[in-house]
């Protein structure tokens, strides 16, 4: 976290900690996964409300931060295997791993799978990511909240499965299991799937829209909150709709029956391929996915749309992109963001728009992150 933001969060955390809540997890204080377990959940929401309203002062205000279930919400957790431990990095220390026995923000079934795997894979040689020696790098657990399906991926440094015997009694527990090769120096928990042990994917379901999740594909981390946000976005979409930064197409597909046509634009080819598969899975015909840089696409198609959805990366949008969006001269823009600070900067730069409404959503309880949706109206 950037220094200024960290300081602001520390000040707000002191204000809202009060007498302190009793952290649910035994690793709290050491593990880098959560920072706010000692703050009562209602106060975490107030803290995030203050944070967002501080950023947007003079521009817009949120009434509240929409809550999530406070624990057992995460769809995905990447547990590093190193130094004889399996878990998450110590807060602020990349070189230290906390031996996580159980994680209270992971969904229940995937957490139980992790607890079992810790024991089963105890004797498998792990990978020292400081010396770049060894074999077993990560256990990645994923769970689709609405279907309950669980995926386990085993990320290793060599194209061989040294855990076949240990995993045999475990495979009944999950819907998908894969061996993944990550043989570079970079500390990556994804890579080539070189052996599918079971299934190969899991499926999530957002109010009838099905999303296939493969070992390397992105999916929102908290389905319950994501679906609330998508519902809100859908209310503001009509006609020919452009979904910029569309990732695996989850927003495009969710809003499709509220639009005449949706075009999703995403720069990562693999994400676009996943989006297309999900379109087929749902037999949705009025959505196209295009692999392109958003900047290039918008410069050539500025007159083709009635609605615009933006969901850029945390870094926000390029100044040239802001200019291109202004040139589209749309009446309304829906801006979803995982970083309210860059969202605020982009909105300021979109000078000919005012904020009609701003909502904040707690996608990541127990952590400082907060998501938002701004509806922008042309002045």
Ligand X SMILES: C[S@@+](CC[C@H](N)C(=O)[O-])C[C@H]1O[C@@H](n2cnc3c(N)ncnc32)[C@H](O)[C@@H]1O
Residue nearest to ligand X (CB): 247
* Sign of CA pseudo-dihedral 288, 292, 294, 297: negative
- Residue 185 and residue 109: Cα distance in Å, rounded? 32
Cβ nearer to ligand X, comparing 266 with 346: 266
Cβ nearer to ligand X, comparing 325 with 338: 338
Cβ nearer to ligand X, comparing 73 with 154: 73
Q: 207 and 228 in contact (C-beta within 8 Å)?
A: no
Select from 105, 204, 119, 136 the least CA-distant residue to 170. Answer: 119
Q: What is the DSSP letter of 31?
A: B
| Catalytic residue (one of 34, 103, 338, 343) | 338
Positions 43 through 62 that interact with ligand X (CB under 6 A) = none
Q: Is 319 in the site for ligand X (CB under 6 A)?
A: no
Is 338 known to be catalytic?
yes
The nearest distance, CB 225 to ligand X, in angstroms, is 12
Q: 60 and 39 in contact (C-beta within 8 Å)?
A: no
Contacts of 165 (CB under 8 A, 6+ apart): none
- Residue 89 and residue 92: Cα distance in Å, rounded? 8
Contacts of 59 (CB under 8 A, 6+ apart): 344, 347, 348, 355
E runs forming strands in 135-227:
136-143, 150-156, 176-181, 192-198, 202-206, 209-213
Is 34 known to be catalytic?
no
The nearest distance, CB 255 to ligand X, in angstroms, is 11
Q: Is 313 in the site for ligand X (CB under 6 A)?
A: yes
One of 294, 341, 374, 375 touching ligand X (CB under 6 A):
294
Positions 226 through 265 that interact with ligand X (CB under 6 A) = 245-248, 250-251, 265
The nearest distance, CB 302 to ligand X, in angstroms, is 15
Cβ nearer to ligand X, comparing 87 with 215: 215
Per-residue contact track with ligand X, 183 to 212, x per CB under 6 A? ------------------------------
Q: Residues with catalytic annotation?
A: 338, 371
Residues at the contact surface with ligand X, assessed by CB under 6 A: 218, 220, 245-248, 250-251, 265-268, 271, 293-295, 311-313, 338
């Amino acid at each position: 976290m950037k220094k200024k933001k960290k300081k602001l969060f520390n000040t707000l955390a002191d204000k809202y900690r009060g007498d302190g809540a009793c952290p649910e997890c035994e690793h709290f204080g050491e593990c880098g996964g959560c920072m706010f377990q000692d703050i009562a959940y209602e106060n975490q929401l107030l803290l995030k409300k203050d944070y967002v309203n501080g950023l947007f002062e003079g521009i817009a205000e949120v009434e509240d931060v929409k809550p999530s279930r406070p624990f057992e919400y995460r769809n995905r957790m990447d547990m590093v295997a190193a130094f004889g431990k399996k878990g998450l990095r110590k807060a602020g220390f990349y070189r230290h791993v906390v031996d996580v026995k159980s994680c209270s923000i992971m969904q229940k079934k995937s957490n139980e799978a992790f607890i079992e795997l810790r024991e089963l894979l105890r004797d498998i040689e792990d990978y020292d990511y400081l010396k770049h020696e060894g074999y077993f790098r990560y256990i990645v657990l994923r769970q689709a909240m609405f279907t309950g399906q669980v995926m386990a991926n085993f990320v290793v440094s060599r194209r061989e499965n040294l855990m076949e015997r240990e995993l045999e009694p475990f495979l009944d527990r999950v819907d998908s299991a894969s061996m993944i090769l990550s043989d570079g120096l970079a500390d990556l928990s994804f890579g080539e799937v070189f052996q599918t042990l079971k299934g190969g994917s899991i499926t999530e379901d957002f109010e009838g829209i099905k999303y296939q999740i493969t070992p390397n594909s992105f999916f929102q981390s908290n389905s319950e909150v994501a679906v609330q946000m998508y519902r809100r976005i859908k209310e503001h979409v009509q006609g020919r709709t452009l979904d910029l930064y569309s990732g695996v197409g989850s927003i495009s597909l969710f809003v499709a029956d509220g639009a005449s046509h949706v075009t999703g634009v995403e720069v990562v080819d693999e994400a676009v391929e996943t989006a297309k598969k999900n379109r087929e899975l749902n037999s949705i015909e009025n959505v196209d996915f295009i692999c392109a840089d958003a900047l290039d696409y918008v410069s050539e198609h500025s007159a083709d749309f009635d609605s615009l959805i933006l969901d850029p990366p945390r870094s926000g949008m390029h100044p040239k992109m802001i200019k291109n969006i202004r040139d589209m001269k749309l009446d309304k823009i829906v801006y979803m963001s995982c970083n309210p600070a860059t969202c605020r900067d982009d909105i300021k730069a979109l000078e000919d728009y005012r904020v009609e409404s701003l909502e904040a959503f707690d996608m990541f309880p127990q952590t400082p992150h907060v998501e938002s949706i701004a509806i922008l109206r042309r002045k």
